[in-house]
Each structure stands twice: as structure tokens, then as C-alpha cells.
């Protein structure tokens, strides 16, 4: 849908259609910084990839503010493989007419940043022919919410059961690892908030003193 790899937009939402012979596709958006100021800033939840058929992908992009961005991709050659970085990149320039959705990407705790972006999904939804149609926002509104998921039964029936089990097992392990990281980050932030050091620092000090005592006794 976009033959040139560099284009400008005055809207917050951009859609790109890609055709490639891969199992799954993952996209990420990075805000470019000025030269000499460091690495690009990753934009959280700024992309949503929907598999519309064999080899056809619809990439939704949401830019948070006027700036220059780099849209990068990772591919899954098979449903059980790890992602590989692809050389395809888009350079997107959001003009001054693009409405700012967040004040700053550096303030991750800002309410606007927490509400920004698409819902967090998993690329493997396309493996089972599932497409989330609504809602397409990260945070739900208070009250009733309309949730619509399209399931392609023919797409699901064409897959082998053995591969499905492998994919589901990878999804479970990935979800457990992500939850452990989230819990550890929350515990660390809570400890720092109350003026305490994280538990792992105390454990490190305790092991250090124990090794010193054992050396002294020896």
C-alpha cells in the first residue's frame, strides 16, 4: 500500500498493507532523536498487526506526537520459530498538523502514556485465524465495552493439531515469563517507594557477608 519507504502524515493513525510469505509478523515503532542524543525512543503499544490471510498483513500504526519515527519489523518464518529482525523499515514523519496524544514519551507514568496505544495482543492469534475487531484501544472505558473477535474456522481447521500444541505451550511459557518480570518490577517499585532496597540487593549482601565469614573462619 506504501511503495515508498519514507512518507509524511498529518494523522495519528496510519495503515500499511504488506504481503510476505511468513507465518507471523511483528512491528515496532521508535521515535527518532536528534543526532548525538542517544538511541531512538521506543513507543509503547504503537503498532497492531492483523493477519488478513495467507501472506497478507494489515499493520496499524499510531503516532503519539509530531516527530520522525522508524517502523521496524520482525518475522516468524514458522509458527514455532523465534522472531528474526527484517531489513524492511519505514521512516514516517508526523507533521505539525498531527495531533499530540501524549506530552512526552520519557514520562512513562503519565496518565496519557498509560492510556496510549493499541491493545496488547499476541502475533499467534493469526495462527488460529483470530482477529480482534473491537476494541482497538489499550485502555477500556468505564462501563460497558463492546468486544468483537472474528474467528476464521476454515483457517483454523487447516492447521495440524501437533503444531497447535507446540504454539500453545510457547504462548504459556512466554506469558508466565512476562508475568514474573511484571511481578518482580512491581515489587521493586513498591520497595523503592517505601524507602526500602529491593530484596535481591539484601540477598547479595547476605551472601557476601557469609562468604567473608567462611573465609575468616578458614
Determine the pLDDT at residue 108. 55
78-82, 105-109, 121-125, 169-173: least confidently modelled range: 105-109
The backbone torsions φ and ψ at residue 137, rounded to the nearest 5 degrees and listed phi first, read -125, 150
Determine the Cα–Cα distance for residues 189 and 166; give it in Å rounded to an integer.
Answer: 35
Contact between 138 and 120 (Cβ < 8 Å)? yes
Whether 206 shows a pLDDT value over 70: the answer reads no
Contact between 181 and 187 (Cβ < 8 Å)? no
Q: Residue 41: which pLDDT band, with cuts at 50, 70 and 90?
A: confident
Determine the Cα–Cα distance for residues 55 and 21; give it in Å rounded to an integer.
Answer: 5
| Mean model confidence pLDDT for the chain | 76
Determine the Cα–Cα distance for residues 84 and 62; give it in Å rounded to an integer.
Answer: 23
Buried b / exposed e over 60-94, threshold 16 CB at 10 Å, is bbbbbbebbbebbbbbbeebeeeeeeeeeebebbb
pLDDT tens digit sequence for 47-68? 988 887 778 888 999 998 898 9
Q: Residue 135: which pLDDT band, with cuts at 50, 70 and 90?
A: confident
Hey, what's the cell of 106?
520519557
Determine the pLDDT at residue 9. 93
| CA-wise closest residue to 64 among 16, 28, 111, 113 | 113
Four-point Cα dihedral 59, 60, 62, 66, nearest 10: 50
Determine the pLDDT at residue 93. 93
Amino acid at each position: 500500500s506504501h511503495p515508498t519507504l519514507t512518507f509524511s502524515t498529518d494523522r495519528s493513525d496510519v495503515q500499511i498493507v504488506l504481503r510476505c510469505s511468513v507465518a507471523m509478523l511483528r512491528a515496532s515503532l521508535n521515535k527518532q532523536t536528534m543526532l548525538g542524543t542517544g538511541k531512538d525512543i521506543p513507543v509503547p503499544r504503537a503498532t497492531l498487526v492483523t493477519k488478513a490471510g495467507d501472506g497478507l498483513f494489515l499493520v496499524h500504526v499510531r503516532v503519539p506526537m509530531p516527530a520522525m519515527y522508524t517502523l521496524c519489523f520482525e518475522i516468524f518464518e514458522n509458527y514455532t520459530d523465534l522472531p528474526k529482525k527484517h531489513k524492511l523499515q519505514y521512516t514516517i514523519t508526523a507533521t505539525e498538523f498531527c495531533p499530540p496524544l501524549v506530552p512526552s514519551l520519557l514520562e512513562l507514568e503519565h496518565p496519557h502514556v498509560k492510556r496510549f496505544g493499541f491493545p496488547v495482543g499476541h502475533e499467534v492469534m493469526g495462527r488460529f485465524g483470530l482477529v480482534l475487531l473491537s476494541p482497538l484501544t489499550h485502555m477500556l472505558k468505564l462501563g460497558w465495552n463492546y468486544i468483537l473477535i472474528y474467528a476464521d474456522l476454515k483457517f483454523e481447521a487447516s492447521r495440524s493439531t501437533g503444531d497447535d500444541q507446540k504454539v500453545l505451550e510457547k504462548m504459556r511459557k512466554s506469558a508466565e515469563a512476562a508475568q514474573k518480570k511484571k511481578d518482580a518490577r512491581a515489587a521493586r517499585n513498591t520497595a523503592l517507594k517505601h524507602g526500602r532496597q529491593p530484596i535481591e540487593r539484601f540477598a547479595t549482601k547476605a551472601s557476601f557477608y557469609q562468604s567473608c565469614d567462611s573465609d575468616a573462619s578458614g
